[in-house]
Amino acid sequence: MNFKAGKLLDSEITLNWTLPLYAMFAISQVGWQAGLFITAVVFVSVLAHELGHVLAARKFGVPTGGINLNLFGGMATINLDKSVEARQEALISLAGPAVSLGLAGLAALIWSGAGVPWMFAIAWMNALLFVFNMLPAFPMDGGRIFRSLLRYKLSYEKATSVAVSAGWVIFGVIASLAIYNGYWMLLAMTGFLALTGWAEKKGTED
């Protein structure tokens, strides 16, 4: 179940019912004030990241929908099917991490130059978003970039299959580390992403 939160840059923003669970988890770890602050930083950063994808897609005339924020982050609705050129897919996929990296750099400069302490949290969160999303694990941005490179030699369907399989290997490693260290939120996230990749792969086979 999703709830409408308004529009930003002509994109409808919806909030999934699971979103408060993240806030509850953060609060349980660091307390009310810090938990709510971390939740706000995370989802504003995720929203900026997803808007990067949307604006890049519009640049190439690729149809876009809204942006949904949920327990595991966010997802912009972008029709990256086989009609989208491999180069365009790579640039659209790279746009989100580029926004995150830019925000991380800007916040780090403000933190170091002006000594604004909460800017460190923004810099750290956006740097983490950049690194995590650039993992070559489909359907992460890095995995989509990987698929776009494979498409120069393989069909769209085969490239998707290879990218999803590579993603399962990476997610398997992350899940193992999450279980070993007791990071259950990370484990749930990897499971969600692996299932999302599998669903997209099945969609290309139909």
Active site residues: 50
Place of tokens 């590579």: 166
Q: How far apart are CA 103 and CA 125, in angstroms?
A: 9
Q: Would you say how long the chain is, in residues? A: 206
Cβ burial, residue 6 (10 Å; 0-12/13-18/19+): exposed
Cβ burial, residue 105 (10 Å; 0-12/13-18/19+): middle
